[in-house]
Structure 1
């Protein structure tokens, strides 16, 4: 049995409170080393100032990724223009770029990547120039030309860090969007499944209503006809009246059994005694002993799917019910069933009142047409040549 879809299942991640704690701990871990390095190395205040400017904004990187990245990038530009040596706070730039790619838009992340690569080029030039300017006294560095070999180590290292931060942030953003899409799709599937269940229940109720109409209408029409016959026969031949009343009782019991089966479907009953559907072999049960109905059935009966067999049975049942109701007391009817190579043909024809025998509308004719069309068949109902009324159906096999 298929398990229901659990749309509440989500990938594991930190909760809101744990996320806030993590952000504070992470940003604090980047800010504190700035003070330690100044105290240990005894340098000027410039490294501390720039480090603080580049790391403190990381406390708000999740809520304001664009603003934090812009501030950190601006502090990095200011450092490159006024201080020509690396500082600890520059670790804040890849962290800010990651936050921009992770929590911002794809366009903002791409702009951040380009800014980072430009910054890598600028930083490589500034730091290389500073290293050359610090050559020992006496060495001639004035005419020294900075080449690609001097810039490559700095540029490739910084660019690799920038690309890694951007790629990791972009991948995390894409994964979160994918997971959110899966969860939303799960919700939609659950809603659609519920809607399909409601529609299927409504369709089943409609089908059962048609079944109930066929059973009740046919059973009552036979009971009425047989009861009238028994009333007239009782005066002349009591034995005939007894047999007719036995037929009435049999038809009533059969109709009651089918009604119980249909009501069992409404209750969800799975009683095997009530489950079987009528088949082609049950067609003779639709004809009472005193009916003027001739059955022309092939021998042996063709093997057809249960759905088609039920459709044929209900079509003949409804047609004979209409004959009894509308064709007149002396009307005769013929039921023909033929199996061709690729279809099953059914005809119910009477010699009664012709067009006046047309069904009065309602579920009868509509139910027959719907049953036949379900199997891609065709139904033709109308006056028969020479008088009477005919119902013809062709159902592909």
Structure 2
């Protein structure tokens, strides 16, 4: 049971009472019980040959113990049992048994005290009835006395005990339901917070994916366009025919870049690349969690309905060769089709590696190797040292430093391995191995 200080702090009631209303009720019941016991104590003092004030004071103090029924219900019941032979404390016994049965005490204690109260009431009633019959005050048969004693004892003990058990069980049930409701509310709030976190994570991942796609689409095409534009500027007066050819290549690459950008923007506008904004309610946030999971799955498996494939690899290398790069392509193993996301990732790795060669090693010879293995597809792009170290500065190709990171993210999303770094000869090597998911 809680201490009086805890209850007072929690609810503001005086002493051990939870509310002032409970305190007023108990004070009223104790006053009525004290008056009842004082009146009955007067009769008890006459029967016992004691002074009347002694019996009244005894009954007054005995009745006031009902004031402690919420704090010490066992003591109240024991006092009521003790004063039962004096035929006083009936209200105290009824209220005490009710409070005892409604408390959180073990059932064996409640049963033992209720049994003691029943036995005490039975004995007192039996003795008083027998004495009354002997004196002639009661005109009943002797065999009726046990029945009268049992009925009186049951009437004074069973109703308050049963009512107290019912009220106590109902109170515990309500507290359990309240705790479950609070627990459910906390769980819903936790789910809402997690859903909001998942939605925020999905939005960040989606922004990263869109940035990676934009980088792959724009960087390669624009890098080649810059290279061709520089070549066009250099040969415009010396070789008009070559200048016209370079200008046509720049136009073709620009149109290809615009086409891919339109396709990507079309996907974004259709809603495939947009993550829903989280709502405030728990139900809406749960829906956001589903949207976040869907977005996460799209991050793990990029949309490849309009993406490039390995069949376009020769065209990609041809564009770099047209820009003046010497590219050597070698293919090992049996050529076969893979899942769209695998082919798109392999294509983007080669594309970005060639873009980096244009940016950082213009004019360097590059070797592209593609290996079709039983359980994986491997690719490697390695360039030799650039023949003219100042070529990159002359071309003025900017670098954001996101190319290698984007390649690593793409390969890692499919469970592959990505390695990049300089070679001993002074060049640069990009290698990737992706598990083969056959289409």
Q: Is the 8 A contact 1:214 1:318 kept in 2?
A: yes
Which stretch of structure 1 is more off in the superposition, 285-294 or 212-221?
A: 285-294
For 1:342, the equivalent position in structure 2 comes to 375
Does 1:283 pair with 2:283?
no
Unaligned runs of 5+ in 2: 1-20, 42-59, 135-140, 147-152, 274-303, 393-397
**Take 2:95 and 2:244, find their aligned partners in 1: how far apart are those partners?**
104
3-state DSSP of counterpart to 1:117:
helix
For 2:79, the equivalent position in structure 1 comes to 78
For 1:119, the equivalent position in structure 2 comes to 113
Mapping of residues 89-100 of structure 1, within 5 Å: 92=95, 96=99, 100=103
**Alpha-carbon distance, 1:171 to partner:** 3.3
**Take 1:349 and 1:132, find their aligned partners in 2: how far apart are those partners?**
111
Cα 1:374–1:124 change in 2 (3 A) is: same
Q: Deviations over 1:309-368 (max 9, x none)?
A: 332232112100111122232x232333223222121111223349x8999882222222
Paired positions, count: 331
For 1:131, the equivalent position in structure 2 comes to 125
For 1:390, the equivalent position in structure 2 comes to 429
Q: Deviations over 1:118-155 (max 9, x none)?
A: 421321221221233134335999xx9xxxxxx99998
**Take 2:308 and 2:184, find their aligned partners in 1: how far apart are those partners?**
46
Does 1:310 pair with 2:350?
no
For 1:322, the equivalent position in structure 2 comes to 356
Q: Is the 8 A contact 2:370 2:377 kept in 1?
A: yes
3-state DSSP of counterpart to 1:69:
coil
For 2:384, the equivalent position in structure 1 comes to 351
**Take 1:68 and 1:43, find their aligned partners in 2: how far apart are those partners?**
16
For 1:225, the equivalent position in structure 2 comes to 227
Q: Deviations over 1:372-394 (max 9, x none)?
A: 22333222223457663321111
Q: Deviations over 1:57-89 (max 9, x none)?
A: 8xxxxxxxxx76226555444332224589577
Cα 1:253–1:77 change in 2 (3 A) is: farther
**Alpha-carbon distance, 1:266 to partner:** 6.5
Cα 1:70–1:318 change in 2 (3 A) is: same
**Take 2:106 and 2:39, find their aligned partners in 1: how far apart are those partners?**
29
Normalization by structure 1: what TM-score?
A: 0.65
Q: Give the one of 237, 240, 243 matched to 1:238.
A: 240
3-state DSSP of counterpart to 2:184:
helix
**Take 1:344 and 1:93, find their aligned partners in 2: how far apart are those partners?**
84
Does 1:371 pair with 2:410?
yes
**Alpha-carbon distance, 1:217 to partner:** 2.3
**Alpha-carbon distance, 1:270 to partner:** 5.0
Cα 1:71–1:160 change in 2 (3 A) is: same
Q: Deviations over 1:89-131 (max 9, x none)?
A: 766557646865xxxxxxxx2x364552342132122122123
Does 1:189 pair with 2:191?
yes
Cα 1:303–1:159 change in 2 (3 A) is: same
Q: Deviations over 1:148-188 (max 9, x none)?
A: xxx99998988766655544433332232122111100001
Mapping of residues 265-280 of structure 1, within 5 Å: 269=271, 276-280=306-310
Between Structure 1 and Structure 2, whose CA radius of gyration is higher?
2
Cα 1:92–1:181 change in 2 (3 A) is: farther
**Take 1:275 and 1:99, find their aligned partners in 2: how far apart are those partners?**
70
Q: Is the 8 A contact 2:381 2:430 kept in 1?
A: yes
For 1:362, the equivalent position in structure 2 comes to 401
Cα 1:395–1:74 change in 2 (3 A) is: same
Unaligned runs of 5+ in 1: 1-23, 36-41, 58-66, 101-108, 145-150
Mapping of residues 247-262 of structure 1, within 5 Å: 247-260=249-262
**Take 1:257 and 1:94, find their aligned partners in 2: how far apart are those partners?**
88
